[in-house]
Structure 1
Amino acid sequence: MRRNRPDKDGTHRGAFEKNKKKIYATQTVCGICGKPVDFSLKYPHPLSPCIDHIIPIAKGGHPSDLDNMQLAHWTCNRQKSDKLIDSRGGGKQEESIGNRVLPHTFDWSNYRPK
């Protein structure tokens, strides 16, 4: 049975969309990898912009709170999955809790969809 996510089709949908627009208007750098996000790229391009929940909803993060949302590349967000990232300590990010580690094994900057 598929679970409904409150930021996609539940009570938080409107607030999520409003805060997503705010983030797209004010942020330009991926909160996961720290590289610029190109808003001209559209899904399914791996470097297209998306919203990352800093504390994943699956780990108890709020689905529409602006403080729990950040700009990310689609592929960075997919690789982060439902892990919690600790970015304290001079900007170096370390995985603090996670269920798997997915390495960056492909240079997505040269990707061209078919």
Structure 2
Amino acid sequence: MSVGRNTTIRDRHRKQIARSKPPCGICGNEIDYGITDHLDPMAYVVDHIIPLNAGGSDTVDNKQAAHRSCNRTKSDHLPDQHTPAGRVFETTRRWW
């Protein structure tokens, strides 16, 4: 399902979120806001926390800063339905 988006609002929200330079809302790592190549996997993008096609709103309170690669991995899943890139699993098992 395609959802129409207002590019003026998108750009305003993008600037508003970037002002405070928050970390990626998906993986928690820092974002290099100076990357100008929008196709760079570590570039800053805005992620809808609750995807629009899952009933999320196109308001700033439903948006977060993210790396392009993290946002693509999350895709249109709800926050609890994806595994963040670079997730580390810990175990108490020792092999020596």
Q: Which residue of 2 aligns with 1:35?
A: 29
Question: Which residue of the other structure, out of 48, 59, 68, is the alignment partner of 2:43?
Answer: 48
How far, CA to CA, are the matches of 1:35 and 1:103 in structure 2?
11
1:59 Cα deviation after fit: 0.4
Instruction: Return 5+ residue gaps in structure 1 as ranges.
Output: 86-94, 106-114
Q: 1:84-99 residue pairs with structure 2 within 5 A?
A: 84-85=78-79, 95=80, 98=81
How far 1:17 sits from its partner (Å)?
Answer: 1.5
How high is the sequence identity, in percent, across the aligned residues? 34
Superposed CA offset, 1:70-89 (max 9, x none): 1000000000011111xxxx
Aligned to 1:6, what secondary structure does the other structure show?
A: coil
Instruction: Pick the structure with greater CA Rg.
Output: 2
Does the alignment pair 1:82 with 2:76? Answer: yes
Residues paired across the two proteins, number: 85
In proportion to residue count, which structure has more strand?
1
Runs of 4+ in 1 over 6 A off after TM superposition: none
Give structure 2 stretches of 5+ with no counterpart.
Answer: 87-96
- Normalised to the residue count of structure 2, the TM-score between the two structures is 0.76
Q: CA RMSD in A?
A: 2.0
Which structure has more RCO (C-alpha within 8 Å, separation ≥ 6)? Answer: 2
